[in-house]
Amino acid sequence: MRGFRNIFAMIPAIVCNNVRCKYRSMIAVQGVSFQVAHGEVFGLLGPNGAGKTSILSMLAGIKYPSDGSIQINGLNYATHRDQIKRLIGYVPQALAFYTRLTGLENLQFFCGIFQIFGDAAKNRIQHVLKVVGLTDRAKDIAETYSGGMKRRLNIAIALLHEPKILLMDEPTAGVDPHSRNSIFECIEQLSRTGTTVIYSTHYMEETERLCKNIAIVDQGQIIAMDSPQNLCESIGGVFFQVGVQGKNRCSLVDILSQMDSIAEVNLKDSLLEITTKEPQKVLQAFMGITDKLDIQISSLNISNPSLETVFLKLTGKGLRDQQDG
Ligand SMILES: Nc1ncnc2c1ncn2[C@@H]1O[C@H](COP(=O)(O)OP(=O)(O)OP(=O)(O)O)[C@@H](O)[C@H]1O
Ligand SMILES: [Mg+2]
């Protein structure tokens, strides 16, 4: 028996292999591959429309990939759909409960859906209410909950059947810092007790706090994947974006690219991008050189190494540029 357990532990909780997703002719996910180990919190970080919900929908078995394969604990949906469904808890991006029922009534209803009855249901309901911190408000109508409480009820429902893998689609959307923190603590606790979590968000700070590894998703593709720390270190220093005007811009690039303190320099039209570990020194030298070459500076943006900078460097746009708030 122990041998079997060891073999089981070696199989990743999730293997996503070259998965694609189409809505009619619209390609939402184009060849995404990643693996997630048991008990890991894995982040999907990307802006609106990147494809996060589409990826989670395929992992949850709600949408079939148009190509590629998904394995959950070594099983696939074609042959082991019911088994996989028992393993997975899905926290959808949109709130998915009855607002005119109380929190408790909602949980009782969903226990029925998961076929949990009697004392088992009572115990699970008490447990999940405690995990999400809603015990005191369980008998209130869900409509009267704050945004954060509604999000926590959404999570509680997904936890009722003790899933081994939890798929969370932007679970903190629109919640205040206090509720956000209590959701984080809940995820950390679940991870400590062996639950695998896939966490989708467009907040880089959330993935930095929670996730061992993250995939940065943009336009249906994974554009970078590693631990948040390794991704930030891959930037190679502070990142400058400077708007430059003047006919000597190419000479400016030539001079800067010869400086030892500059790791990388690129000119895209009138936007100059510089990566350096010595920002102070570079900034001083930069001012002198632009002055001599009669180059005007129209904008200056300095970012410390962060996942936002990684995204900026890889796509040329900010994670938040495209957010709706
Ligand atoms: N049901 C659908 N029919 C047609 N196109 C869709 C459908 N669902 C999603 N899409 C498209 O697929 C792409 C990816 O959408 P998806 O919802 O997966 O992105 P997302 O990363 O979850 O975005 P958000 O952060 O806004 O939730 C988008 O271009 C979107 O318009
Ligand atoms: Mg989404």
Ligand 1 contact, 53 CB (< 6 A):
yes
pLDDT tens, residue by residue, 260-300? 999 889 898 899 999 998 989 999 999 999 999 999 999 99
Higher pLDDT, 58 or 318: 58
**pLDDT value at position 235?**
80
Ligand 1 contact, 117 CB (< 6 A):
no
Q: Which atom of ligand 1 is nearest to the CA of 56?
A: 18
**pLDDT value at position 2?**
52
Ligand 1 contact, 323 CB (< 6 A):
no
**pLDDT value at position 9?**
64
- pLDDT > 90? residue 72: yes
**pLDDT value at position 251?**
92
Ligand 1 contact, 202 CB (< 6 A):
yes
The best mutation among 19, 22, 23 to test binding of ligand 1, ranked by most ligand atoms within 8 Å of the C-beta, falls on 23
Q: Ligand 1: which residue has its CA nearest to atom 26?
A: 48
Would you say 125 and 104 are in contact if contact means Cβ atoms under 8 Å apart?
yes
> pTM score, two decimals?
0.85
Q: How far apart are CA 176 and CA 172, in angstroms?
A: 8
Q: Domains in the chain and their CATH numbers?
A: 2-231 (3.40.50.300), 236-304 (3.30.70.100)
Q: Looking at residues 32-46, what average pLDDT do you find? A: 96
**pLDDT value at position 324?**
41
pLDDT tens, residue by residue, 165-175? 999 999 998 88
pLDDT tens, residue by residue, 193-248? 999 999 999 998 999 999 999 999 999 999 999 999 999 888 878 888 899 999 88
pLDDT tens, residue by residue, 85-96? 999 999 999 999
Question: Average pLDDT over the chain, rounded to whole?
Answer: 91
Q: Looking at residues 146-156, what average pLDDT do you find? A: 93
**pLDDT value at position 137?**
97
Q: How confident is the model at residue 318 (pLDDT cuts 50, 70, 90)?
A: confident
